[in-house]
Amino acid sequence: MCGIVGYIGQKEANGILIDGLKRMEYRGYDSAGIAVLDKGSIFSLKRVGKVMELAKAQTKFHHHGPIGIGHTRWATHGNVSERNAHPHLSDGNRFAVVHNGIIENYLQIKAFLTEKNYRFTSDTDTETLANLIDYHYQKAPYLSFAEIVRKTLLHIEGTYGIAVMSKIFADEIVVARKSSPLLIGVGEGENIIASDAAAVARYTRCVVYLNDGEIASVRSDNFSITTLHENAVDVIRHELDWEIRDMDLEGYPHYMLKEIVEQPFVIENAMRGRFTADGCSAKFGGISLTPQELRTVDRLLFCACGSAYHACLAGKYLIEKYARIPVDVEYASEFRYRNAPLQRNTLVFVVSQSGETIDTLAALHEAKRRGYTVLGITNVVGSTIARATDAGIYQHAGLEMGVASTKAFASQITILSMLALLLARIHDMDAIAGLQYVQALKSLPAITNEILKLSDPIRMIAEKYYECERFLFLGRQAMYPIALEGALKLKEIAYVHAEAFPTAEMKHGPIALISDETVCLFIATQNELLDKTMNNIQEVKARGGKVIAIVNNDCIAWEVFCDEVLTIPEVHPGINPIVSVIPLQFFAYYIGILRGCDVDRPRNLAKSVTVE
Ligand code: M6R
């Protein structure tokens, strides 16, 4: 979703701004723009479409200077057009603003400012902010830049991450946040502000994250942060924990493929240092709860969105199976508003790759408001969710650039599987079973490496079916969330309608969809119920449907009844969901490629969803 970048230092801002915008392309956007301060005036350049278009236009843009702001926009208010792209300048061009989030009372503000003769040239909520800043400047020109922005923000309802520059205050950028991420990349004689660390990582590894309700005045050689209510803030500097090479394709045609292939390594990273010395259980340094405290937990609640929600659902099956603790999984967007009844000794987890998803953050706040301990599982160190939870577990999956989550999803289920083991060992699981579970987890990197070899066979299957328009994904128990994830990947990447059901649910309705134009993907790696699954496959075949089965044994019936069979290794049930998802990721990837889709930047999607 929208990206913000800003530069103040000694170098020419244009190139750094465009590079920063390119680094944030993976988040999803539809137009881009920059503004620079040149010889006392603000000049802006905007283009609809890719940052590349902006970069091309920039070669003929003859305005340069060491201070500027840039933005990639994901349209909310007003269509996709240059007029609506950011930065937005105030009437009279004194201030320029880039903004992520939504200003909910913008219509009232616009009406107020129109009365005061302010002119508007866009349909956006952001332009009202630029003009309101100007209005407050006109009212009190003696105030500092940060004070003018502060006064303005006190009138704003909604969410924002903003960066503001001005021709009046030519040596300063003011930034502020409320529910939309912002950070300052601290450099030598220069500072870069951004909504995503990817935009600053080439220039500095030292970042300071702004918290909600904070405002900062950033100059080339210093910055100061206070709260909107003028209280002092403890500034904490973080070191970025991922490698610059995560941002490069390293010879792969797409980030999605690169990230699928990285999974053995990512899974190993998720487990590193997290087994107990006796080799029979898992441990997480980030969870501050003692075994005694964990024993008192009667119920778990997981809140998440999208793929992270599917990971939680897989975690539910594993935790309930092994630890025998009831688990609820809620869409964070539902939980935040529905006042769900919660049992007293419930431990709440929020799970989010980006650590910035607004619904997940809201669910976190809701659970905390109600007095629950909230732990986090997130990939981004220092992200808002990481900082707002009581404690948590980092995924260490490295920066995920593909909009569709692959490696982060695998690492989330790996962690949840380890959590199932940890809780099971505290409850009823004996040491031998614990040892076997640990051995299974440790075998994951090698097994997932084996599964990566299915890439070519899966591509060949995709070549046969890529023109089909109807896919059903079916799986039982812990494979049901994997079916959901497989269907989500296909929808996101290839824009094909795909649905997922628990296998046995097919005959309760979805079977009506089966015809010779329907492709059913059975994730049939749940061997306890093989005969039942075989019956379901026959039901599809009897109605002319096509069957692709992912299996883990060499039962002769697969070849007889299925159109395509992909065999993966048979593994411990605690790691089965992790290995079963990889073929589905490849499948979505190849279908997307064959249909000519932009698999790394699917239409309408954003990497982290920071607006409601
Ligand atoms: O960053 P998060 O894990 O909180 O993101 C949650 C969802 O927005 C995300 O998983 C989304 O569904 C992805 N596009 C999945 O590929």
Q: Give the pLDDT band (50/70/90) at residue 471.
A: very high
**Ligand 1 near 492 CB (within 6 A):** yes
Q: Which atom of ligand 1 is nearest to the CA of 360?
A: 4
Asked whether 327 and 300 are in contact (CB, 8 A), the reply is yes
195 SS3 class: coil
Same fold, 254-451 and 453-602: yes
Residues forming beta bridges with residue 37, ordered by sequence position: 42
603 DSSP assignment: T
Architecture of the domain defined by 453-602: 3-Layer(aba) Sandwich (3.40)
Residues forming beta bridges with residue 101, ordered by sequence position: none
Cβ within 8 Å of residue 492, ≥6 positions away: 403, 404, 588, 602, 605
**Ligand 1 near 404 CB (within 6 A):** yes
Summarize the confidence of residues 588-610 as an average pLDDT: 89
Q: Which atom of ligand 1 is nearest to the CA of 378?
A: 3
Q: Which of 130-134, 197-201, 568-572 has the lowest mean pLDDT?
A: 197-201
Residue 549 confidence (pLDDT): 96
How long, in residues, is the chain? Answer: 612
Q: CA angle, corner 66, sides to 86 and 37, nearest 5?
A: 50
- Report which secondary-structure segment, H or E, holds 412: helix 407-426
Give residue 46 CA to ligand 1 midpoint distance, Å: 28
**Ligand 1 near 305 CB (within 6 A):** yes
Cβ within 8 Å of residue 162, ≥6 positions away: 4, 97, 98, 99, 100, 129, 149, 175, 176, 177, 182
- What is the share, in percent, of the chain residues with pLDDT greater than 70? 100
Summarize the confidence of residues 498-506 as an average pLDDT: 95
Summarize the confidence of residues 319-329 as an average pLDDT: 97
pLDDT of 245 strictly over 80:
no
Asked whether 43 and 96 are in contact (CB, 8 A), the reply is no
Spatial distance between the Cα atoms of 210 and 184, rounded to a whole number of angstroms:
8
CA nearest to 165, candidates 103, 89, 110: 89
Cβ within 8 Å of residue 556, ≥6 positions away: none
Domain 254-451 has CATH 3.40.50.10490: yes
**Ligand 1 near 352 CB (within 6 A):** yes
Q: Give the pLDDT band (50/70/90) at residue 1.
A: low
Q: Where are the alpha helices (DSSP H) in 82-234?
A: 106-115, 126-139, 145-153
Spatial distance between the Cα atoms of 303 and 358, rounded to a whole number of angstroms:
12
Asked whether 420 and 300 are in contact (CB, 8 A), the reply is no
Of the candidates 110, 258, 316, 607, the residue annotated as catalytic is: 607
**Residue located nearest, by CA, to atom 11 of ligand 1:** 306
**How many Å separate Cα 512 from the centre of its chain?**
35
pLDDT of 552 strictly over 70:
yes
Does the annotation count 607 as an active-site position?
yes
Six token digits for residue 519? 């492709």
**Ligand 1 near 605 CB (within 6 A):** yes
Give residue 413 CA to ligand 1 midpoint distance, Å: 14
Q: What is the pLDDT of residues 77-131, one digit of tens each?
A: 888 999 999 999 999 999 999 999 999 999 999 999 999 999 999 999 999 999 9
Architecture of the domain defined by 3-240: 4-Layer Sandwich (3.60)
Residue 95 confidence (pLDDT): 98
Does the annotation count 56 as an active-site position?
no
In terms of Cβ atoms closer than 10 Å to its own Cβ (0-12, 13-18, 19+), residue 567 is middle
Q: Which atom of ligand 1 is nearest to the CA of 607?
A: 14
Spatial distance between the Cα atoms of 336 and 367, rounded to a whole number of angstroms:
8
Give the pTM: 0.86
Where in the chain are the domains? 3-240, 254-451, 453-602
**Ligand 1 near 405 CB (within 6 A):** yes
Amino acid at 106: Y
Average pLDDT, the chain: 94
Summarize the confidence of residues 263-292 as an average pLDDT: 94
Six token digits for residue 372? 């629950």
